Amino acid sequence: MQVIVTDKAPAAIGPYSQAVKAVGLLFCSGQIALDPVSGEMVQGTVEEETRQVMENLRGVLEAAGTGFDRVVKTTIYLIDMADFPVVNQVYGSCFGELKPARATVGVAALPRGARVEVEVVALQA
């Protein structure tokens, strides 16, 4: 098992790793719209939050030597399912022709008042 740490994504805000490599897979912890430099939530629309979430995931994937093209499973957490169309559009723009399996879950709340969180599982490079 190998822990992945990068400054291209926010530092963990609890007792967890940004990602862990194990058995040929990369397990990325859920990302919210924290700015990796300031550690503060990105303020703005759910679209802007989702863009930051996906950029944070990109940073973790790249630090592990992989990318969105190797993601096999994602989970999206939303506090308001009415945001799904916007989140789906931004999320979808990160993937090529082959889309990963996915679940989308409505939740009561997310850390730091986030409206969206995404976690991914990817193949190691």
Helices (H), the chain: 46-63, 84-92
pLDDT single digits (tens) 38-60: 999 999 999 999 999 999 999 99
Global pTM value = 0.96
pLDDT single digits (tens) 73-124: 999 999 999 999 999 999 999 999 999 999 999 999 999 999 999 999 999 9
Per-position b or e across 21-55, b if 16+ CB within 10 A of its CB:
beeeebbbbbbbbbebeeeebbeeebeebbbbbbb
Place of tokens 């999206």: 76
| Dihedral sign from CA coordinates of 65, 69, 71, 75 | positive
Interval 19-31 mean pLDDT? 97
Question: Structural domains in the chain?
Answer: 2-123 (3.30.1330.40)
